[in-house]
Amino acid sequence: MSDVARDGLSVAEPVGQGAWWMDPALLVREDFELVWGLLDSAPDAQARLVAAVYRASAHLHHDASPMARRQLLALDAARYGHRELAARITAVPVDGVDPARWGVEWATADQVDSRFRYAMTGWKVPSVATAVVDGRAVAVGPSWSGGDNGTALRVWDLMTGEQIGEPLVGHDGLVRAVATAAMNARPVAITGSEDGTARVWDLFGHRQIGEPMAGHDGWVLSVSTALVDGRLVAVTGGTDHTARVWDLGTGQQIGVPLVGHSHWVAAVATAVVNGRPVAVTGSWDATIRLWDLGTGVQVGDPLTGHTDQVLAVATAVVDGRPVAVTGSNDKTAMMWDLTIGEPVGDPLTGHSHKVGSVATTTMNGRPIALTGGGDATARMWDLTTGEQLGDPLTGHTDQVGAVASADVDGIPVAVTAGAVAGTDHTVRTWSLRERRRSATPSDGHSGTVLAVSTAMVGGRAVAVTGSGDDTARVWDLATGERVGAALTGHIGGVNKVATGTVDGRPVAVTGGQDALRLWDLTTGDLIGGPLTDPAGPTIARAMAMVDGRLLAVTSGGHRSGRPMRVWDLATREPIGEFPAGRRRGYADKVIAVTLGQLGGRPVAVTGADDRTVRVWDATTGRQLGEPLIDHDCSVRAVAMATVEGRPIVIIGSDDKTARTADLSTGRQIGESLCGHNDVVCTVALGTVDGRPVAVTGSWDATVRVWDTMTGEQIGEKLTFPAMVNAVAVTPDGRLAVGFGTELAILASR
């Protein structure tokens, strides 16, 4: 990591003493509004770094206890590469609370971005638009939260992030689209819904105007507005393959539906072409069409070039010519000259997943496009040159479903929203004044970290992570630097990782939905080819060192009915198999598998959707004893280890609890481990400071550490900015935590 990051924001040099912004106690203890106001007036680069650290998770620690705020601030300081600041924050005393039990040693920085300002949390927002209401810049969007199931429209102040007024209610189905305009000098929003109607809302008076505009035979997916012969109209696109035009003054449909697409009209925008108002529609049929809004007639031939569904359309003027910018499921955006009906330049490439949203604006007099992708990033493009401007906006933990732009107090901002289908329920704002992030990206994963394991390589402790981006990566546990190139070749994600030795050399085995791969950790080379099962799909379920042998368990595809197969990875031969379940078609019901040793023989422990945990002899396939525990919900995660001479298993469940059991007796040890408020999806066993511990990670974005034998929680819960999907305990007693696309290493204090 460089000593001084781009834009002059220091991430490694010591920060000056004596200034208010370097008092960690102020950040941890004081009133949020006070600190936020001080940071807004930060006088230099070092203070701006502290401001970026504070803002990174402010939406999480705004109302949190000082203890939780201390931990999150320390984590974010480490994410920005400022370990000294992280240590000073961790050391801040909090009244009535024990000193922090865990300190952050380092963390990757792929999701922190100094341009991020704040997030409105808890909102699943399918679409977003901006407007000015009573002199205030606002964001407008439907929210699939708060009990209204996406049927209501909400308005947020973009300066404060606060919701303005009560939700605007009236739709009977999820609101899929929103646009804003000025009607009779008053700001209005136009919404399209799954109830088949579009509605108009007075944003100043906070009320619906007129009756619903009904006519689509299906959902209304997209909305835009235009002036046609002096009257304000709305154009809507729907699942009935049509677009329709509405007089917003009367609420009546104008003319006949615009018919021509062979699939859903997912996107609508408007422009002026050769002096005539036109609608630009994008469809799941992979085409874009232009329509004369005065006559309702299609203009020219369909625009073709995308190879998959067109999901988003926006329009702009570039060098005096009207253009459309489209986003597609083919992972690209394209620009089109609407006068001649031809693409302009090459596709805009950079997103690694679908481009589901597009907005246009101007900055410094230049036309700009904003795109939101399924890769959890938003990107900015110069429409004059076709080049991406600066770094992607990173911070969302799942796909970006909507983008918009606004001017807030003279600062150009982007507004982004997590997609309804994803797990990121935030609306975020970003300053577009800067093009670069102030934290140097760690060149880490672009997909969710799903697995983590540790090893010793040439006297150096390393962590190996597997991700939904189809790669595994190796990290130096002391420095946080990535070791070597990414381990590539998988298709469908790397959701299992283990480390061990084969023929005396340190190796990693990675698995996903396609094959097992064995890697030499000294050289980074693949050992042999991918290991696949001749019987069909080879889905990795578990890997571990058992009695000096590196073993793996694989299963077949969904509902294949094939037994689980156990492999010796040194010989690349199967050594046994056991049933995937106790009834036919049960293969997809086994959720979690771990490997270990019981009574001197290798065993597999499975957790299933039928709420049971079972133990299998890995070579004979015989079930050992009765099911261990009858949980209240599906078993999500299992891990096994020998603790003080006893074979122990820890079990995480959808019932938000974890339990430990002694495999030699089949009995639960102590009470259930309670405290998480969502699924316990990842578990690990290890030793910290000579004490056997169990570690649980949850979809509630927290990690808890427990004394394995007593069930007592050790230290405070650890909160992260994204869901935790992977945990491990290093041989020297540190915690490795995969949250979102990032990795953090924590040590006991």
CATH code of 392's domain: 2.130.10.10
pLDDT of 1 reads 26
Q: How far apart are CA 455 and CA 285, in angstroms?
A: 50
Residue 261 is assigned to a structural domain of this protein: no
Backbone angles phi, psi at 67, to 5 degrees: -65, -45
Q: Which parts of the chain sit beneath pLDDT 50?
A: 1-18, 583-588
Residue 691 is assigned to a structural domain of this protein: yes
Give the number of C-alpha atoms closer than 13 A to the C-alpha of residue 611, restricted to the C-beta side.
8
User: Is the domain of 426 the same as that of 536?
Assistant: no
- Structural contact between residues 187 and 178, judged by C-beta atoms closer than 8 angstroms: no
Taking CA atoms, 251 is separated from 144, 198, 218, 292, in Å, by: 26, 9, 18, 20
Which of 301, 376, 314, 384 lies closest to 340, judged by CA?
301
106 CB-near residues (< 8 Å, 6+ apart):
78, 83, 479, 480, 744, 745
Domain end among 51, 73, 100 = 100
The Cβ of residue 99 has, within 10 Å, a number of other Cβ atoms equal to 11
Burial category of 458 from C-beta neighbours within 10 Å (exposed 0-12, middle 13-18, buried 19 and up): exposed
pLDDT of 143 reads 79
User: Is the domain of 673 the same as that of 545?
Assistant: yes
Which of 638, 586, 584 lies closest to 615, judged by CA?
638
Structure tokens given for 685 = 């066993």
Q: Which residues pair with 288 in a beta bridge?
A: 282, 303
- Structural contact between residues 549 and 555, judged by C-beta atoms closer than 8 angstroms: no
Domain end among 392, 411, 430 = 430
pTM: 0.87
Domain end among 76, 100, 124 = 100
Residue 474 is assigned to a structural domain of this protein: no
Q: Domain span at residue 739?
A: 532-748
pLDDT of 102 reads 95
Residue in this structure with the two tokens 């109830």, named with its chain if needed: 195
User: Is the domain of 425 the same as that of 552?
Assistant: no
Strands 494-502 and 505-512 turn out to be: antiparallel
Q: How far apart are CA 651 and CA 680, in angstroms?
A: 9
Residue 667 is assigned to a structural domain of this protein: yes
User: Is the domain of 546 the same as that of 423?
Assistant: no
Which of 139, 27, 16, 133 lies closest to 86, judged by CA?
27
- Structural contact between residues 328 and 308, judged by C-beta atoms closer than 8 angstroms: yes
Residue 125 is assigned to a structural domain of this protein: no
User: Is the domain of 412 the same as that of 549?
Assistant: no
User: Is the domain of 544 the same as that of 688?
Assistant: yes
Residue 707 is assigned to a structural domain of this protein: yes
Residue 219 is assigned to a structural domain of this protein: no
Q: Looking at this protein, which amino acid is placed at residue 211?
A: E
Q: Looking at this protein, which amino acid is placed at residue 696?
A: T
User: DSSP code of 40?
Assistant: H
User: Which runs of consecutive H residues, i.e. helices, occur in 45-145?
Assistant: 45-56, 58-61, 66-79, 83-90
Residue 162 is assigned to a structural domain of this protein: no
Q: How far apart are CA 343 and CA 287, in angstroms?
A: 12
Structure tokens given for 288 = 């874009």
Number of domains in the chain: 3
User: DSSP code of 89?
Assistant: H
User: Is the domain of 420 the same as that of 540?
Assistant: no
pLDDT of 10 reads 36
Identify the H or E element spanning 36. Answer: helix 32-40
Q: How far apart are CA 464 and CA 456, in angstroms?
A: 11
